[in-house]
C-alpha cells in the first residue's frame, strides 16, 4: 500500500484534524464532532448542506465556504455519514431560512439525509433534497433516477451556493439547484483502482494497459472494459455518450469540467480537454468556462471524468460569482 | 503506461493546445510558438519570467497570471526551454522596467536563461537571475549553491509577483525575490516513479513498500531509501532536516506548503500536515498560512514535499495579496 498513513483506522479523523488545523479561519466543526464540518463564520442565508463518504477530496467538505456550502457531514471512507451528524449540522447552519440538502444518489446517503430532514422538521426547520445523478454511465436515458452522482455535483453546489450567498429565498435556491442538476451530465474512465486504507488492498483489479469506461468513483463497474485507447478516442467515446444524453443544439453554451480521479497528471487532463474542445466545436457548441483539476476523486485512482453543464444567462451569472474555500477559490469573472 | 496520451511525441504540444484552448482569457503565447506562454493582457510593470521542463504542472506555466508571473518558457518533458524562447518572452513582457528571471537550479536552465539575458542586454533590456535552490536534500548546509530548486519556488513567485504587481521597482522586486529565496527550504519523499511519455517506462525503480526520502522531482537520487514508515515518522524525519537548515527560533512565523507530487491523495497530504503542525507547535513556531495541494509535480509520481518559508511582516503582506492564474487562485486575506 503506497500511502502515507499512520493507523489506517485513523485515516479519516487524522485527515480532518489536519484540515481543521490548516484552515481555522475558514472551517470549523459543530456538536463536538470533527466529522461535522461547518463554515466560519456562520452566514445569515438559506443553508446548504452536503455530505458523503471520505476518499473523494475535495468532495465533499472541500466545497464548504464562501459562495458555496455551509456544512458537510463526513463519513468513513466510502461510507455514508450518520443522520445524527446531518441533523446536528442542519441545526448549526439554520438561519431560519430553510436548509437545502445537496448530495449524491447513493442509498445510504439518501436514507440518512431523509432521516435528518425528518428530525429537523420536528424543530421546524424546513429542508429539501437535491440528489445529484449526473453519471450517464450508471443507467440509461429514461432511468435517470438510478444514476449515481459524481463530479457534476460541483455545478449544483456552485449555482445554488452563489444564489444563496446573494440572499435568494429557499424556493429560489431550490429551483436553481434543480436547474443545474437537470443540465449536467458526467462520464468517467479509470485505469487503476484505489485502496481503502482499512482494507489495505484494491477493491477491484484491472490489467495494466486496460481501461474501464463508466466506472464509478467507488469502483462501481462501468459499461466497457477494453485495451487503453489513445486519449482522443477515449474522449470521443465519452463525449458521444454525454452528448447523446444532454441534447445540445447549435449555439448552445456549456461549462466543462475535466476532473482528475486522483493519480492522473494534470498534463493529461489538458490533452483530454484539447479533444473535448474539438468535439464541441464540431457541434457548434460554445464553451462558456472550463474547469480542469481534481474536483471529485477516488484517492489515488488513475482516471478522469468529463462533466458538461448546459448553461443559460442565469446559470452563467451564478457560475461567474466568486467562491472561496480551502480547496477551491475563484474570483468573480 | 497508464496514461491518457495520443502520440507520446506530441505530449507537450497537445497539452499546451489544451491549456491555451481552455483559458484564452488568461493565457496566450508569443513569437508564434505555443511553448512561449504569456499572460494576457500584458502588464505595465517589472516583468517576471520563468521556465523549465514540462511534466511538473502547475510548475512552471501555471504561475503565469495576475499577481504572479508574466511569462514562461516551456521545455519538453524534463528538458530545458531554449534561450531563444526565453529571449522572445523577455521582449514580449518587457515594459521598460526590467525583467527578472526566476527559475530552478538546473544547469540547462541556467545556461539558457543566461544566454537569453545576454541577448536581452543587446536590446537594452535589464535582466537579473533568481535561481531557486530550496531542496535541502540535494546538498549539505554550506553548499546551498548546489541545491536543486523544487516546490519552494512558489514562495519566490508569490512574493515577487505581488511586489511587481503593486509597482515596485526592479531592484525592489529583486530584493524581495532574494529574500523569499533565502527563507524557504523544501524536502521531498517519493514512493513510485513517473514515466516520461516518449520513453514509455519508469526512469528508476523502487520496490513496493519502499520510500526514498530526498528524491528530486526528476527522480534524482535522495538521501535515504528504506521501508515505508508511518506518515508521522516520515514527516518527523523530513522536518528535522528542514528545521536544522532554516534555523527557526521560538516566536518565528512560517508559511507551510505541503505539495503532492502527482498521485498522492489529498487526504494523505492533510494527514501529513497534521504532523507538521504538531512539530511546529512543539518548537513554538507560529504558522501564518498553509498551502496544501499540487504545486510542483512529477506527473504521476507518488510522494509529497514539505516547504517551510520563514516570514516577516513584509513577506506576509505579499503572500496575502490576491493572485489569479488558471492553476492557482487566491483572494486577498
Q: Which residues of B touch A78 (CB under 8 A)?
A: none
Put simply, the answer to whether B11 touches A271 (Cβ < 8 Å) is yes
SS3 at position B163: helix
| Cβ-based neighbour number of residue A288 at 10 Å | 18
* Mean pLDDT value across residues A4-29: 98
Closest residue in chain A to residue B14, using alpha carbons only: A271
For residues B55 and B218, give the distance between their C-alpha atoms in angstroms, rounded to a whole number: 9
Identify the band that residue A293 occupies on the pLDDT scale cut at 50, 70 and 90: very high
* Mean pLDDT value across residues A244-249: 93
Residues 282-311 of A with CB under 8 A from B: 290, 292-294, 297, 299-300, 302, 304
Closest residue in chain A to residue B293, using alpha carbons only: A327
**Backbone dihedral angles phi then psi of residue A187, each to the nearest 5 degrees:** -145, 145
Any idea which of A184-188, A197-201, B179-183 has the lowest mean pLDDT?
A197-201
Closest residue in chain A to residue B331, using alpha carbons only: A331
Catalytic residue among A29, A56, A92, A237: A56
Of B262, B267, B293, the CB nearest to A263: B262
Closest residue in chain A to residue B20, using alpha carbons only: A274
Share of chain A above pLDDT 90, in %: 97
pLDDT computed for residue A204 by the predictor: 85
pTM: 0.98
Closest residue in chain B to residue A62, using alpha carbons only: B266
| Nearest chain B CA: its distance from A112 CA (Å) | 24
- Compute, in degrees rounded to 10, the torsion defined by CA atoms A298, A116, A159, A164: -140
Whether residue A254 is predicted with pLDDT greater than 90 in this model: the reply is: yes
Catalytic residue among B29, B56, B92, B237: B56
Put simply, the answer to whether A11 touches B267 (Cβ < 8 Å) is yes
Identify the band that residue A301 occupies on the pLDDT scale cut at 50, 70 and 90: very high
| B227 burial type by CB count under 10 A (0-12 exposed, 13-18 middle, 19+ buried) | exposed
Q: Which of A17, A267, A305, A306 to mutate to test the interface with B (most CBs of B within 10 A)?
A: A267
Whether residue A102 is predicted with pLDDT greater than 90 in this model: the reply is: yes
**Backbone dihedral angles phi then psi of residue B158, each to the nearest 5 degrees:** -65, -45
* Mean pLDDT value across residues B282-304: 98
Whether residue A288 is predicted with pLDDT greater than 90 in this model: the reply is: yes
**Backbone dihedral angles phi then psi of residue B242, each to the nearest 5 degrees:** -65, -45
Whether residue B247 is predicted with pLDDT greater than 90 in this model: the reply is: no
* Mean pLDDT value across residues A221-234: 96
Identify the band that residue A255 occupies on the pLDDT scale cut at 50, 70 and 90: very high
Of B292, B300, B326, the CB nearest to A264: B300
Whether residue B1 is predicted with pLDDT greater than 90 in this model: the reply is: no
Put simply, the answer to whether B3 touches A268 (Cβ < 8 Å) is yes
Active site residue B29: no
| Nearest chain B CA: its distance from A115 CA (Å) | 28
Residues 231-250 of A with CB under 8 A from B: 231-232, 234
Put simply, the answer to whether B21 touches A274 (Cβ < 8 Å) is yes
CA angle, A151 then A153 then A154, to 5°:
80
pLDDT computed for residue A48 by the predictor: 98
Whether residue B15 is predicted with pLDDT greater than 90 in this model: the reply is: yes
Whether residue B203 is predicted with pLDDT greater than 90 in this model: the reply is: no
Chain centroid to Cα B201, Å, comes to 25
Put simply, the answer to whether A231 touches B290 (Cβ < 8 Å) is no
Question: Which DSSP category does B146 fall into?
Answer: G
Point out which residues pair with B69 in neighbouring strands: B64
Q: Which residues of B touch A326 (CB under 8 A)?
A: 292
pLDDT computed for residue B50 by the predictor: 98
Put simply, the answer to whether A57 touches B11 (Cβ < 8 Å) is no
Active site residue A23: no
Domain boundaries, chain B: 8-182, 184-330
* Mean pLDDT value across residues A244-248: 93
* Chain segment A64-74, per-residue pLDDT in tens: 999 999 999 99
Put simply, the answer to whether A333 touches B232 (Cβ < 8 Å) is no
A184-330 CATH pick, 3.40.50.2300, 3.40.250.10, 1.10.760.10, 3.30.1180.20: 3.30.1180.20
Catalytic residue among B23, B29, B145, B218: B218
Of B57, B265, B270, the CB nearest to A22: B270
Whether residue B282 is predicted with pLDDT greater than 90 in this model: the reply is: yes
- Close Cβ partners of A274 (under 8 Å, ≥ 6 residues apart): B14, B15, B17, B18, B21
Q: Which residues of B touch A14 (CB under 8 A)?
A: 270-271, 274
Answer whether A284's CB lies under 8 Å from A290's CB. no
Residues 175-204 of B with CB under 8 A from A: 191-192, 194
Closest residue in chain A to residue B195, using alpha carbons only: A265
| Nearest chain B CA: its distance from A154 CA (Å) | 17
Whether residue A2 is predicted with pLDDT greater than 90 in this model: the reply is: no
* Mean pLDDT value across residues A210-218: 95
* Mean pLDDT value across residues B190-209: 92
Q: A8-182 adopts what CATH topology?
A: Rossmann fold (3.40.50)
Task: Check if A13 contacts B (Cβ < 8 Å).
Answer: no
For residues B58 and B70, give the distance between their C-alpha atoms in angstroms, rounded to a whole number: 15
Put simply, the answer to whether A264 touches B4 (Cβ < 8 Å) is yes
Whether residue B324 is predicted with pLDDT greater than 90 in this model: the reply is: yes
pLDDT computed for residue B2 by the predictor: 87
Count chain A–chain B contacts defined by CB atoms under 8 A. Answer: 174
Task: Check if B81 contacts A (Cβ < 8 Å).
Answer: no
| Averaged confidence pLDDT in chain B | 97
Whether residue A132 is predicted with pLDDT greater than 90 in this model: the reply is: yes
Of A14, A23, A297, the CB nearest to B274: A14
| Averaged confidence pLDDT in chain A | 97
Give the N- to C-terminal CA distance of chain A in Å, as an integer: 42
Whether residue B29 is predicted with pLDDT greater than 90 in this model: the reply is: yes
Put simply, the answer to whether A272 touches B18 (Cβ < 8 Å) is yes
pLDDT computed for residue B204 by the predictor: 85
For residues B83 and B80, give the distance between their C-alpha atoms in angstroms, rounded to a whole number: 9
Amino acid at each position: 500500500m503506497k500511502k502515507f498513513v499512520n493507523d489506517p483506522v485513523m485515516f479519516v479523523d487524522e485527515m480532518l484534524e489536519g484540515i481543521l488545523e490548516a484552515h481555522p479561519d475558514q472551517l470549523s466543526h459543530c456538536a463536538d464532532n470533527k466529522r461535522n464540518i461547518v463554515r466560519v463564520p456562520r452566514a445569515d442565508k438559506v443553508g446548504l448542506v452536503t455530505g458523503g463518504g471520505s476518499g473523494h477530496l475535495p468532495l465533499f467538505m472541500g466545497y464548504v465556504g464562501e459562495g458555496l456550502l455551509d456544512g458537510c457531514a463526513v463519513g468513513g471512507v466510502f461510507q455514508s455519514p450518520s443522520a445524527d451528524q446531518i441533523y446536528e449540522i442542519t441545526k448549526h447552519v439554520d438561519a431560519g431560512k430553510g436548509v437545502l440538502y445537496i448530495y449524491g444518489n447513493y442509498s445510504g446517503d439518501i436514507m440518512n439525509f431523509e432521516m435528518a430532514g425528518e428530525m429537523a422538521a420536528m424543530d421546524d426547520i424546513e429542508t429539501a433534497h437535491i440528489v445529484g445523478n449526473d453519471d450517464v454511465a450508471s443507467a440509461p436515458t429514461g432511468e435517470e433516477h438510478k444514476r449515481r452522482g459524481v463530479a457534476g455535483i460541483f455545478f449544483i453546489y456552485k449555482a445554488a451556493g452563489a444564489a444563496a450567498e446573494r440572499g435568494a429565498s429557499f424556493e429560489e435556491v431550490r429551483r436553481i439547484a434543480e436547474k443545474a442538476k437537470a443540465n449536467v451530465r458526467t462520464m468517467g474512465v479509470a485505469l487503476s483502482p484505489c485502496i481503502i486504507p482499512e482494507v489495505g488492498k484494491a477493491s477491484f483489479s484491472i490489467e495494466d494497459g486496460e481501461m474501464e469506461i463508466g466506472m464509478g468513483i467507488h469502483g462501481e463497474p462501468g459499461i466497457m472494459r477494453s485495451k487503453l485507447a489513445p486519449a482522443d478516442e477515449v474522449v470521443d467515446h465519452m463525449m458521444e455518450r454525454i452528448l447523446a444524453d444532454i441534447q445540445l443544439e447549435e449555439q448552445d453554451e456549456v461549462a466543462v469540467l475535466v476532473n482528475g480521479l486522483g493519480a492522473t497528471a494534470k498534463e493529461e487532463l489538458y490533452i483530454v480537454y484539447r479533444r473535448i474542445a474539438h468535439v464541441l466545436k464540431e457541434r457548434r457548441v460554445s464553451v462558456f468556462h472550463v474547469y480542469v483539476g481534481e474536483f471529485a476523486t477516488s484517492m489515488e485512482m488513475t482516471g478522469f471524468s468529463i462533466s458538461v453543464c448546459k448553461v443559460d444567462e442565469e446559470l452563467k451569472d451564478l457560475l461567474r460569482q466568486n467562491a472561496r474555500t480551502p480547496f477551491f477559490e475563484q474570483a468573480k469573472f
